[in-house]
Amino acid sequence: MSIEIRKLGVIGAGQMGSGIAQVCAQAGIEVFLHDVSEDRINAGLATINGNLAKLQAKDQLTDVERKAAMELIQPAVAYEAFADCDIVIEAASENEEVKRKIFTRLCQALKPEALVASNTSSISITRLASVTDRPERFIGIHFMNPVPRMQLVELIRGIATEDSTFETARGLILRLGKTATVSEDFPAFIVNRILLPMINEAIYTLYEGVGSVDAIDTAMRLGANHPMGPLQLADFIGLDTCLSVMQVLHEGLADSKYRPCPLLVKYVEAGWLGRKTQRGFYDYRSGTPVPTR
């Protein structure tokens, strides 16, 4: 039997976390938004307000609806603010050690019946659930980026996830007006299991000199009818996240076809992580993206 979600926590006020907070508030759910500092929480709130203002400018939202959504989002400086939440969704960086520390600390602040979810795009839900005091109430809820625009959400059950947890999560996704797809708990689930090796192959194509950044992205946009090229998409996702997912695939499935391209590793080592650092496969510093190769 599913439970109704009235209060929801989000850990991480970055691109994904702020997007999750926004769509939940727009659906009338009270949201508590946490990050490692008040500055980060405030930056997340400013992002959400800006996104809602853009929707209002396009007449997709009224001023009353925008204000109502913003009023439903509260800053949560400490985990104790989640004490009355029905579910908390973790949307921190794609690093298993970071996530494990969060879950260990978080569960101490929650009511016993609260559900815990991870927005991980690749890490084992069963393994993450094992560090909590409630593996049967733990589930993967993987939103796509950007959350407000993307229709799909992957639901991933761990080995211990109970039916009621799954039904509650599925009910939440329906309430947000999104479509749920169910994936088994294998490395990178469905979308990233297919998408990231394609991006990695595009980077190999660049690395081996088969085509330039512009040639590869133009080829896939116009030749495969993709809305953006794979290297442009990699920059949008973040090259560090792309590398993390490829490492999870490579380690988890032990198949050489998932080996991260050395050029991807080099860009991440240089701190060229894509749009968020202004440089990746494109240089964004002038305001017009210029290929870096």
In a domain, 1, yes or no: no
CA distances (Å), origin 15, targets 129, 167, 184, 276, 293? 24, 26, 25, 10, 27
Q: How far apart are CA 111 and CA 86, in angstroms?
A: 8
- Among 123, 155, 183, residue at a domain's last position: 183
What is the CATH number for 223? 1.10.1040.10
In a domain, 278, yes or no: yes
Overall domain count for the chain: 2
Across the range 271-276, mean pLDDT stands at 97
pLDDT at 231 over 80: yes
Whether residues 217 and 138 share a domain: the answer is no
Whether residues 15 and 142 share a domain: the answer is yes
Whether residues 165 and 222 share a domain: the answer is no
Share above pLDDT 70 across residues of the chain, in percent, rounded to a whole number = 100
Tens digit of each residue's pLDDT (9 = 90 or more) over 81-125: 999 999 999 999 999 999 999 999 999 999 999 999 999 999 999
Pairs from 228-233 (Cβ < 8 Å, separation ≥ 24)? 229/202, 230/198, 230/199, 230/202, 231/199, 231/202, 231/203, 231/206, 231/281, 231/282, 232/281, 232/282, 232/289, 233/199
Q: How far apart are CA 207 and CA 93, in angstroms?
A: 27
- Among 157, 183, 209, residue at a domain's last position: 183
In a domain, 199, yes or no: yes
Q: How far apart are CA 124 and CA 156, in angstroms?
A: 9
Active site residues: 121, 142, 154, 192
First to last CA, the chain: 54
What is the CATH number for 59? 3.40.50.720
Confidence at 188, pLDDT banded by 50, 70, 90:
very high
Whether residues 16 and 72 share a domain: the answer is yes
Confidence at 2, pLDDT banded by 50, 70, 90:
confident
pLDDT of residue 214: 98
Tens digit of each residue's pLDDT (9 = 90 or more) over 28-53: 999 999 999 999 999 999 999 999 99
Dihedral in degrees, nearest 10, Cα atoms 158, 163, 169, 172: 170
Whether residues 82 and 168 share a domain: the answer is yes
Q: How far apart are CA 115 and CA 190, in angstroms?
A: 23
Q: What is the pTM of this model?
A: 0.93
Whether residues 230 and 268 share a domain: the answer is yes
- Among 159, 183, 207, residue at a domain's last position: 183
Whether residues 171 and 83 share a domain: the answer is yes
Whether residues 82 and 217 share a domain: the answer is no
Strand partners, 182: 155
Whether residues 178 and 249 share a domain: the answer is no
Mean pLDDT of the chain: 97
Whether residues 238 and 114 share a domain: the answer is no
Confidence at 3, pLDDT banded by 50, 70, 90:
confident
In a domain, 41, yes or no: yes
pLDDT at 1 over 80: no
Whether residues 53 and 169 share a domain: the answer is yes
In a domain, 270, yes or no: yes
In a domain, 2, yes or no: no
Q: How far apart are CA 70 and CA 64, in angstroms?
A: 10
Whether residues 217 and 154 share a domain: the answer is no
Across the range 182-198, mean pLDDT stands at 97
Share above pLDDT 90 across residues of the chain, in percent, rounded to a whole number = 98
pLDDT at 255 over 80: yes
In a domain, 255, yes or no: yes
273: containing domain: 192-291
Tens digit of each residue's pLDDT (9 = 90 or more) over 11-23: 999 999 999 999 9
